[in-house]
Amino acid sequence: MNVQLLRVKQVAKMFNVSVATIWRWKKDVNLNFPQPREYMGSTRWLKEEVEDHILNLHGYETSSNR
């Protein structure tokens, strides 16, 4: 399995929002936003989790909501 990690700027671009908005969403537990991982001293999101979250927002079934 090839795990792809995203930086906060990349995540923000996927949602068409600012970096500050991504950090706000991360803190808001009610949004169920994917939580980042610490990797070699920097914060990264798993691309698969971010993509699944986008699909869930649009009502599509993913492996995480079956």
What the chain holds in terms of domains, given with CATH numbers, is 5-57 (1.10.1660)
Instruction: Report pTM.
Output: 0.85
Backbone angles phi and psi of 44, in degrees to 5: -140, 150
Q: What whole-number distance in Å separates Cα of residue 37 and Cα of residue 40?
A: 10
Report pLDDT digits (tens) over 1-54. 689 999 999 999 999 999 999 999 999 999 999 999 998 999 999 999 999 999
